[in-house]
Structure 1
């Protein structure tokens, strides 16, 4: 429709925001491909490297709500500039670090700047794009942002092997500087009139749609994220007896299918907004069913069943993005940032919890073997059950709120003076 035609400058603004997000993902993933070199340079083992990664994620998750409030007050452009600068400084510190404390400082800065980026880009989408297009654009934002993860793999590995630690991470810091420059020159931040009001955390938290989004993100993201970030590869190799190359193909397939699934689910969510919670429950239920089939299979699961698991897990990331659409739908523009922060923080808190509990369960069961992995991955069931219950709970609250608002609007129309002219029937 003509009313939904999007000007070219809006696409340019969005493209700059997506580039900033892809660079943030590039910084976030850079430690993962430098693990061996980091251990040798810093003189630490697996525990020290795990601490680096966990501190970065903890900072990211812990800053979601404060950053959301700042985005609502300062706008997306300022926060993207600050985030890009902080991440570039973090990579600079990491490049010259010679000990664990220096490296920790660098990764904390990276996590801090990373936390400012995605929320800011989501706010840009909410401000500039029509409501019906919003779910699809959010999915495309997440999809294209993952190109940063691709860029952090081969180029960084090649750089470390050919040029060494410091030149490689100085180059990474320079990429952050490029992102900062593009945002400063090309990005335009629209601040709606409502944004003049101070965003209130309490009001955003009290909104049922915000908590519906938070539980959506937590229950759908955690399984695939834990699988991709840490436990999928050892589960497939040590637990299921696959060759490393086969396990790598399955993990790569999961990522690619997730990129394909995102736009499809975003389109459906935009076309059928009243069925979004059903989509979420389907994602949760299918994930639980696929894991149940794998974990209860007598002996090691056949490759075809593991492929089915990967296909199902591919819907987790796109399913979690529906949580941000709930936050947008039920909150005014003045508090979109803080509502998005609540949703994102809930999802990453659930992911870190699942990662930690799987590790604890593995240690309690001896650490290796199919039986140990079965018990370890069973810790996901409470997350799915609690998430599904809370999605149903807050879906009901959100629907009752909408019904009450509709009744109040009808009552106001009925009691209006009949002689007063009405500018529009809507």
Structure 2
């Protein structure tokens, strides 16, 4: 049951990332600028982030199985539409629905994990879920690059869409909401109850700490994987198409390995979760600084270090969900998870758009022949997001610990944070 749900999430990550290695091809196919190319990912991320809270409420009302099936079918139809899109507006509509279907997967899988596994195993299973899901990014790197070169745009995206049909059938046959029943339905929620649940979740400092953890750790890897990594490595650092694809695949491989490691560390050192996050963010900032400050093209070893530390940031963002889980009662888990899951995608959305705008600004004569200098300017926008995220993590971890001291002083030093 978990494997089938997990494969649906993996497929969602694949569809989400499938434009990463096709960015330059898409720019030529639709004759668009960097800002217009970034709009694909911007729209996809905007829809994803905006739907997190509504999807959480839908899961509470209709159960994860129904919502997950709706997401799988939406992704299948959207990717098929993207395959046939021959104009920029049609392609935008297709990516909008890709974002919509993608938004319906992860929260559903997390709910199934929380229902089917013992509480002590949830942190590890959550990391394993994220780890396996990120393999979709690997499948969207080198294999998709080869498919686009050998099969062309339409056939490549149609083949990708076809996997959704198989998984939708498996989902119907295998997945159950709870051990005792195939599907569950929650009570209808009034506007008053929804507002009260969201307000209570947001007022909890642990939820905000989870939000800013997700915000700060994820955006660098997400931006590289979804759109700008391939152009940055090829045009900004002078690598070949093949090497750029391998670097993006390596980054996904790091996510796969780092996820279970963090899943084992966090339950053993729960009080130090925010400290672990700050250490990981600091490592990402340090390596990016070395790459951007390097005179000329950075050496391959340094670029490998970059994708390694950025890749660790992916599973590190999952720590935000654990912070939300231990800071909210079970009846607010969906709303808290939805709020936290917005963080990284809001940051990624801001970065994707900013990079496109800065590249157009710093590229003489326009077009898609971006210079290394233009990429250095564009990638430097990350420092704005890192500064904000680190400040807020520190701020809300202090508030969360202060709240525990006031309400349960005997628990201070033992309650997970």
Q: Structure 1 CA distance, aligned partners of 2:373 and 2:27?
A: 30
Q: CA deviation at 1:323?
A: 0.9
Structure 2 counterpart of 1:277: 274
| TM superposition score normalised by structure 2 | 0.84
Which structure 2 residues correspond to residues 26-425 of structure 1 after superposition, within 5 A? Answer: 26-32=14-20, 43-46=30-33, 49-152=37-140, 169-190=157-178, 200-366=197-363, 368-406=370-408
The Cα of 1:175 is off from its aligned counterpart by: 2.0
Q: Distance in 1 between matches of 2:145 and 2:231?
A: 21
Which residue is equivalent to 2:414?
none
Match in the other structure for 2:4: 16
- Higher RCO (C-alpha under 8 Å, 6+ residues apart): 2
How many residues are treated as equivalent by the alignment? 397
Paired residues of 1:17 and 1:121 also in contact (CA < 8 A): yes
Structure showing greater Rg? 1
Q: Could you tell which deviates more after superposition, 343-352 or 22-31? A: 22-31
**Distance in 1 separating the partners of 2:234 and 2:138:** 23
C-alpha distance in 2, partners of 1:177/1:65? 27
> SS at 1:330's partner residue?
coil
Separation in 2, partners of 1:329, 1:135: 11
Cα shift at 1:273: 1.1
Q: Note the C-alpha offset of 1:95.
A: 4.4
Contact 1:212 1:390 in 2 (8 A): yes
Q: What residue number does 1:7 align with?
A: none
Distance 1:109 1:212, change over 3 A: same
Shift of 1:329: 1.5
Shift in CA distance, 253/174, structure 1 to aligned 2, threshold 3 Å: closer
Could you report, residue by residue, the CA deviation over 1:254-309 in whole angstroms, capped at 9, with x for unpaired residues?
A: 22122211111121012211111111000111111222233334444333333333
Give the superposed CA RMSD.
3.2
Following superposition, the deviation at residue 388 of structure 1 comes to 1.2
Structure 1: gaps spanning 5 or more residues: 1-12, 410-426
